Homo-oligomer: A and B are copies of this chain.
Amino acid sequence: MIAQNWESKAKIARDILEKSIKKEWLLPQEKLPSKDRLNVLSVAKESGILSDAELLITETDATGLVEKMGVGEWTAEQVLIAFTKRATIGHQLLNFATEFMFDEALEEAKRLDAIYQKTGKVVGPLHGVPISVKEMVHFKDRICHTAYVSWIDRVEKEDALMIRNLKAAGALFHVRTNEPQTVMHLDCNNNIYGRSLNPHNLNLTPGGSSGGEGASLGFKCAAIGIGSDIGGSIRAPAAFCGVYGLRPTMLRNPWKGVSLAGDGQESIRCTLGPLTNSLRDIDLFQKAVLDQEPWEEETNLVPIPWREVKTPKDLTVGIMWNDGVVQTHPPIKRALNHAEQRLKSAGVKTVDWQPFKHEQGGEVTKSLLFPDGGTCIREALEASGEPAMPLSEFALNYAKHLDIRENWELNVKRDWFRDMSHKLMKERGVDVILCPTYVGAAAEHETAHYWLYTSIWNLFDQPGVVFPCGFNVDPALDPADDKFQPLNDIDATEQKKYAPERYTDAPLAYQLIGKHFRDEELVANAKYLESIISA
């Protein structure tokens, strides 16, 4: 009985998605890529559904789009249609969407165009920019379920504060995106919509938990995406899908109006942040949001605007080759080698960064993510009877019920880690840490187990930007390491997951870590370093 119930409830959400798809923009059966084709990045171009102008629009970053709309070259309607067409195809290939909102967005686009025609001015810094949004973020009068079947009856009364801030800046919202069950996988699969795929290689996950966003930006279904990150959920999908992402310092971006099991957990906070197709778009996004002063409504936020900063002249980059616990796959080493060489050639000072107790930090992180013993999540699953997926069980396996005082002791430890890490960066004279985002370039479905390359920075609360290297896994350059010496069992297991042919075309990316609350400096430094490394 329960089994039937949850399945019929899941169908409600799937029906909403199904009805929201514009059928005329779907690829006809005969144009679908062949079953053995893994890299589908160019299918939009080949489809004939987008005009050349529309293809150009979708390959333009948000900053570029606003420029073009600002001089009247493109209209918001035209931009919206181009991205929604691409998103429709993208969904057909990657299963990344949970709901299209085209009609509402079109109405808004027309309103923006009318204002532009009248005034000759854009309404705000994100005028007409189509943004995809992780499903867990509220939209007024729409269901928000966070991938829990049992929550499919929750209709939200109000847009999330982030959405209202972005609407005030002129943004459009055309599609909501998929997330894994519990939103605690670096993968993207659930009992409602099933699995989302990576556009670079369908055998790979787009990452998670903002996996739908990774796929969306990777296939250029939106100019900007909104993800959330409590342990890597923006950065992993950005890296896996070859796009840009920012996990800001906690309490900078608005959070109000996001559904997450375990509201009120404050030891390690989840944050919203952007996925983009350029670093300058991260600046554009952050400035547009914080200029709305979200702290005037969500008083927990720190009232610091997005500051303008200059890149320091004598930048020192710490390169963290691995975290001392689990070593990386060969392509990641190649990517870091490439960066080091480029930086040295350009005269940028680099030093090797010795990781600071990541294993111990990882233990604290695991405890602090589920101090309720995972009961909030379990209850949300059990309320419908939907089965827990293997990666949910894997994450919940960390969950140990703490009492209040154990939680307090871990808060003190967490603060010690934060202070020490900040101190070490200063003592070592390191401005930013360049490091892997994950053990590999991406992960095969259901195999992403090792979070620590991203989650450690949530514990330390240091902001992180992901940017692509500009090249991909290449079996000719990235053979498996025959002489690999594992540090421990997990290291051995993770390295065994590597074989070059499994990761063909997976994009390579860097994670750049900045100092606590120095998000602006981090993004400025990332721009500078990208211009050297990925040029």
Q: Which residues of A approach B to under 8 Å, CB–CB?
A: 256, 262-267, 295-300, 302-304, 371-372, 375-376, 401-405, 407-412, 415, 418-419, 422-423, 426, 461, 516-517
Is B265 a contact of A408 with CB atoms below 8 Å?
Answer: yes
A412 in complex: contacting residue of B264, B372, B404, B407, CB < 8 Å: B264
Distance (whole angstroms) from the CB of A300 to the closest CB of chain B: 6
Is B412 a contact of A303 with CB atoms below 8 Å?
Answer: no
Is A411 a contact of B266 with CB atoms below 8 Å?
Answer: yes
Is B300 a contact of A418 with CB atoms below 8 Å?
Answer: yes
Quick one: closest B residue to A375, CB to CB?
A: B405
Distance (whole angstroms) from the CB of A501 to the closest CB of chain B: 44
Is A422 a contact of B299 with CB atoms below 8 Å?
Answer: yes
Which residues of chain B come closer than 8 Å to A402, judged between CB atoms? 404
22 pairs from A and B in contact (CB 8 Å cutoff): A256-B419, A263-B409, A263-B412, A264-B411, A264-B412, A266-B266, A266-B267, A266-B411, A296-B422, A297-B422, A299-B516, A299-B517, A302-B302, A302-B304, A302-B517, A304-B304, A372-B403, A372-B405, A372-B408, A401-B404, A402-B404, A404-B404
A436 and B470 CA atoms in complex are apart in Å by 63
A404 in complex: contacting residue of B295, B302, B407, CB < 8 Å: B407
A296 and B408 in contact (CB under 8 A), knowing A303-B517, A304-B303?
no
Distance (whole angstroms) from the CB of A164 to the closest CB of chain B: 14
Is A415 a contact of B300 with CB atoms below 8 Å?
Answer: yes
Which residues of chain B come closer than 8 Å to A376, judged between CB atoms? 405
Is A297 a contact of B266 with CB atoms below 8 Å?
Answer: no
A297 and B372 in contact (CB under 8 A), knowing A304-B303, A402-B404, A412-B263?
no
A151 and B146 CA atoms in complex are apart in Å by 48
A264 and B410 in contact (CB under 8 A), knowing A372-B404, A402-B404, A405-B376?
yes
A297 and B419 in contact (CB under 8 A), knowing A266-B266, A303-B304, A303-B517?
yes
Is A517 a contact of B295 with CB atoms below 8 Å?
Answer: yes
Quick one: closest B residue to A426, CB to CB?
A: B296
**A264, A402, A415 interface centre (most CB from chain B within 10 Å):** A264
Distance (whole angstroms) from the CB of A310 to the closest CB of chain B: 18
Which residues of chain B come closer than 8 Å to A262, judged between CB atoms? 408
Is A418 a contact of B299 with CB atoms below 8 Å?
Answer: yes
A371 and B304 CA atoms in complex are apart in Å by 31
List 7 extra interface pairs beyond A266-B267, A296-B426, A297-B423, CB under 8 A: A264-B409, A266-B266, A295-B517, A299-B419, A302-B517, A372-B405, A404-B407
A429 and B175 CA atoms in complex are apart in Å by 38
A461 and B299 in contact (CB under 8 A), knowing A410-B264, A411-B266?
yes
Distance (whole angstroms) from the CB of A413 to the closest CB of chain B: 9
